[in-house]
Chain A
């Protein structure tokens, strides 16, 4: 444990040191302009970490901003960071569920129906070379025109962005059993459905979980970017946008850290589900 944690701790400490140095360096001019006439150099350096709108806030300022905006207001207040994080997490979660359903169904179809494989596989791959996020503002506006507002358009974008890793991961996983295992199922005279339920599906799980982690991160990105064009009423993307309009750097960084925490939370939950499955299967995935 210590052998693994020590290098990470050292690197994180180095990042923190560099961060403080950079925030002093970047904010020095602003602080010097605001400081009193006779301020010494060290007073100005101290001021660089107390600015309202620093160019680069010091880490402890971001933490303080997060604490006040999470615990300072009730969670249903639009000033609360928790409220915005929940709005984004909800859209990302629904999108992720859509992507999971679509990805698994597509993968099963692609593995079993040759017409689907031949027609779809190229387009599924091509759909990822297209910068999907570029379409996000249009999808949001168009769906808004036909009366769909709020969570659903964001969830659709999050889902569109995250179905790809799930589909490709599942296709690889469902094809993972080698010919010997399939032959064994044949000698048991297993039906196609049994081969699927007892061989292909269990084998695909080892591939599904890593792709789920990628997909969760992508769903979050999709939900955040989808919040940008609507005039941004709520959500972490809205916090980013209003923060950038009004030069509230602390608000931007707090939203960014909240997004990172959400990503970590999602990955931790997937890890939890994975270890639960591993335990049910007696220690193997």
Chain B
């Protein structure tokens, strides 16, 4: 009964509060509205789960998840090391690096570019996570196979985006470089690569999420007894959903944090881009 009243209050009061907040145009309103929305969702989740006695094996309350996080810090840290530091990071770096390199090489030949680009965008549209079992077979159960999946998943988005970025330089700018008698590599490093940076960062941000997905899904196919994907699949089977949610929270924090860090770097590196000038 009490839970019902609380939920009713939330359902009426929440939107009213949000509408009031959204009306203010200042910086505070813009920041506070989504945050309040998030807090309200968490609160509603807690009220529904605790108030109506939703069993823990269906949906643990946010407070139970917080407790699970606090209780399992060493385990979460070990999973983080295995999945993020050992699999995602090297795979992401190698995949993005080789994709960028391939784009620069492709840029030298019009013929090759016209041949590879359609295939590249085709491959980007395919369910590449499916190579996970093959990579596990080739590179074993440990982090190497996960890193390999991440390399394959991140290569093509970077290739396609970087090629588009390198092609985006205007004729006028290139003519200017020509009139300076700039060599090919000078044009590349002083004009075309900087100009391609927004595209490259776009791919880097996209790939940071893809890499995490790739590593976690690859762990469903076989893994040593550590790692975020392994933990999620085993704890689901053991009905310890609070631990699963703790692991998901970790994944969410890692995903959002890497996105935010990349966005920050992008802002400082491409400060000249119109979308950041006010």
Contacts and interface: CB of A to CB of B under 8 A. Distances in A.
Chain B interface size range? 35 or more
Given A11-B119, A133-B213, A263 B127 contact: yes
A82 to B, nearest CB: 18
B136 to A, nearest CB: 7
Nearest to A252: B133
A200 interface: no
A229 interface: yes
A244 B34 contact: no
A145 B57 contact: yes
B138 interface: yes
A122 interface: yes
A155 interface: no
B232 A134 contact: yes
Q: Is the interface of A mostly helix, strand, loop or mixed?
A: helix
Contact of A10 (B38, B115, B137): B115
Interface in A163-185: none
Given A141-B236, A263-B125, A135 B248 contact: yes
Contact of B126 (A12, A122, A135, A260): A260
Interface string A113-149: 0110111111100101111111101100110011000
B111 interface: yes
B51 interface: no
Given A145-B57, A217-B126, A241 B133 contact: yes
B47 interface: no
A130 B256 contact: yes
Nearest to B245: A138
B222 interface: yes
Nearest to B250: A134
Nearest to B257: A129
A131 B212 contact: yes
A8 B37 contact: no
Contact of A118 (B21, B38, B133, B255): B21
A236 B38 CA distance: 36
A91 B259 CA distance: 30
A110 to B, nearest CB: 12
Interface in B36-65: 36-38, 57-59
A115 B15 contact: yes
Given A115-B22, A260-B126, A11 B236 contact: no
Best-surrounded residue of A123, A128, A134, A214 (most CB of chain B within 10 A): A134
Nearest to A222: B127
B33 interface: yes
Interface string B198-239: 000000000011001100110011100000110011001100
A83 interface: no
B21 A137 contact: no
B130 A119 contact: no
Nearest to A139: B236
A201 interface: no
Contact of B228 (A118, A128, A134): A134
A10 B228 CA distance: 42
A205 B217 CA distance: 34
Contacts of B132: 240
A281 interface: no
B119 A8 contact: yes
A85 interface: no
Interface in A231-274: 236, 240-241, 243-244, 247, 249, 252-253, 255-256, 259-260, 263-264, 267
B18 interface: yes
A145 B58 contact: yes
Contacts of B258: 129
Interface string B81-122: 000000000000000000000000000000111111011001
A133 B132 CA distance: 14
A139 to B, nearest CB: 10
A115 B127 contact: no
B30 A240 contact: no
Nearest first, the 5 closest Cβ-Cβ pairs linking A and B are A7-B115, A244-B133, A11-B115, A119-B37, A122-B34
28 contacts: A7-B111, A7-B114, A10-B111, A10-B115, A55-B138, A115-B15, A119-B22, A119-B37, A120-B34, A123-B37, A129-B252, A130-B248, A131-B252, A132-B213, A133-B129, A133-B216, A134-B229, A134-B248, A137-B220, A138-B241, A213-B125, A224-B127, A229-B236, A244-B133, A244-B221, A252-B134, A259-B130, A260-B126
